Amino acid sequence: MNLVRFHNPHQTVNQGLVDQLFNNFLKNDYDENYLKGCNCKPATNVFEKDNEFKLELLLPGFKKEDVQLNFHENILTVKVELPENKEEENKNEEEFKYERREFGVYNFERKFKVPKTVDAEKIEAHFENGILELTLPKKEEAVEKAPIDIKIA
């Protein structure tokens, strides 16, 4: 007869989870600098109509003056570069240390390849309620026209 030691795996797993919960409860594993080097990009919607394209970028917390737009060689660039002291302005007079931070304003650059059918001279931008809306009209020759019936003489 062999004697086998009994080991209850459920008790070990549960005990490990409980230990981990209480050991990490007061531990601060948050990195305050994660937004500075993040590769964060705003959420974007892209629409196409018969005569234009439309882009919507979600930019809560930014101002119209913070956003830079550039169009060069069929590349549309949307860029935000906040000065270093802008982040400092958001801090209260007292210095607080974040225990958890899940949002914030950050620098980013987003590039969109635009078709050659877009008329770059007529691109319009509107910024309202944290949403940047860009309208990129198509050139007249690029707009599809209704078929024409040709009469045979």
Judge whether 5 lies within some domain. no
Say yes or no to pLDDT of 132 above 90.
yes
pTM equals 0.63
Domain that holds residue 125: 29-142
User: Residue 144: what pLDDT?
Assistant: 73
Judge whether 4 lies within some domain. no
For CA atoms 84, 71, 40, 102, the dihedral sign is: positive
Which CATH number belongs to the domain containing residue 101 in this structure?
2.60.40.790
Average pLDDT, the chain: 77
User: Residue 93: what pLDDT?
Assistant: 47
User: Residue 1: what pLDDT?
Assistant: 62
Say yes or no to pLDDT of 34 above 60.
no
What average pLDDT does this structure show over 17-26? 63
Judge whether 150 lies within some domain. no
Say yes or no to pLDDT of 98 above 80.
no
